[in-house]
Amino acid sequence: MTGASSGIGEATARRLDADGWRTIVVARRGDRLEGLAGQLRDAHPLALDLTAEDAPARVRERVEQEGALHLLVNNAGAAWRGRFAETGFEHVRRHMELNFDAAARLTEALLPTLRRSAPSSIVNVSSTAARVSRPKSGAYSVSKFALTAWTDSLHLEEKEHGVHVGMVLPGFIATEGFPQRELRENARTRWLVSTPERVAEAILDAGPGGKPERYVPRIYWLAAAARVLAPGLIRRATGGGATTPATGADERD
């Protein structure tokens, strides 16, 4: 479970632990991981930066100590807002490095173990921003678009090996990095915001549950459908603001 030190990752680690899973929780903030592991029944912390060159090998080494791997959740991510004209390609590269490259590199390292452990599953935590992009969040959307497309392809490739690959696309989720206070305080928009615990349920559906993908809140699939059926409408609707439905945080897990 990556990105486990707060928000969606922490909620999912707690849910897995409650359901009897033995978990390895991964994130940069070692103190937060130690605290979480101390509260759970059978969780083991591994503090590292997933963008580091040796990160996949370090995770693989720890996983191989267990002998099997039945679920990989690629959840670690972050979002930093900014217009392309001001932030340039470096802003895109920064997002891709963590939100896509790190997940792909880690999956490459663990795929042999997942195949040996089959039936097993991978869940990539994407975002509704992978379907509908907004101002000042283009770099974030690019990274999540890539993760989403890769997830569909990987599922088709790994199905024959007994590895299911699912995806979760959260919308506005109240987390440490994105408290969504403005939306939650307005009675007309409160329904737009969900919780990390709901995302944790969706992750179980998209992993061991075998579902191809889940939106959280579920109604957000309408925005994805409208993007295909009525792109002009979506452009007008999203052009007036820069709030980003996101799974990451300005301060990375």
The answer for 56, left when phi > 0, alpha when psi is -120 to 50, beta otherwise, is alpha
Give counts: helices (H), strands (E), the chain.
10, 8
Q: What is the full per-residue pLDDT of the chain (253 aa) written as tens digits?
A: 999 999 999 999 999 999 999 999 999 999 999 999 999 999 999 999 999 999 999 999 999 999 999 999 999 999 999 999 999 999 999 999 999 999 999 999 999 999 999 999 999 999 999 999 999 999 999 999 999 999 999 999 999 999 999 999 999 888 776 667 676 666 666 677 889 999 999 999 999 999 999 999 998 888 888 888 888 888 888 885 444 444 443 334 4
Cβ(245)–Cβ(129) below 8 Å: yes
Q: Is residue 67 assigned to a domain?
A: yes
CATH of the domain at 130: 3.40.50.720
- Cβ-proximal residues to 124 (8 Å cutoff; 6+ apart), any chain: 74, 103, 147, 148, 150, 151, 165, 166, 167, 168
Q: Is residue 2 assigned to a domain?
A: no
CA-to-CA separations, 247 to 145, 155, 217, 239, in angstroms, rounded? 13, 21, 13, 21
Q: Is residue 249 assigned to a domain?
A: no
User: Among all chains, which residue has been given the structure tokens 């939106």?
Assistant: 215
What amino acid occupies position 97? E
Supply the pLDDT for residue 246: 46
Q: Is residue 159 assigned to a domain?
A: yes
- The torsion of the CA quartet 47, 97, 70, 208, rounded to 10 degrees, works out to 120
Supply the pLDDT for residue 177: 64
Q: Is residue 248 assigned to a domain?
A: no
- Cβ-proximal residues to 19 (8 Å cutoff; 6+ apart), any chain: 204
Supply the pLDDT for residue 244: 46
Q: Is residue 247 assigned to a domain?
A: no
Q: 218: which DSSP letter?
A: G
pTM: predicted TM-score of the whole model, two decimal places:
0.90
In which element (H, E) is residue 108 found? helix 102-116
User: What does the alpha-carbon distance between residue 234 and residue 239 come to, in Å, rounded to a whole number?
Assistant: 8
- Cβ-proximal residues to 5 (8 Å cutoff; 6+ apart), any chain: 25, 27, 28, 29, 32, 33, 36, 253
Cβ(205)–Cβ(167) below 8 Å: no
User: What does the alpha-carbon distance between residue 173 and residue 178 come to, in Å, rounded to a whole number?
Assistant: 7
User: What does the alpha-carbon distance between residue 207 and residue 220 come to, in Å, rounded to a whole number?
Assistant: 20
The radius of gyration of the chain from alpha carbons, rounded to an integer in Å, stands at 17
Considering its fold, how many domains does the chain have in total? 1
Q: Is residue 135 assigned to a domain?
A: yes
User: What does the alpha-carbon distance between residue 60 and residue 186 come to, in Å, rounded to a whole number?
Assistant: 45
Supply the pLDDT for residue 39: 97
Domain residue limits at 68: 7-238
CB burial class (10 A; 0-12, 13-18, 19+) of residue 54? exposed
Give one DSSP letter per residue of 141-207, joined into a string: HHHHHHHHHHHHHHHHHHGGGTEEEEEEEE-EE--SS---HHHHHSTTTGGGEE-HHHHHHHHHHHT
Q: From the candidates 71, 74, 75, 140, give the one annotated as an active-site residue.
A: 140
Verify whether residue 215 is a known catalytic residue: no
Q: Is residue 211 assigned to a domain?
A: yes
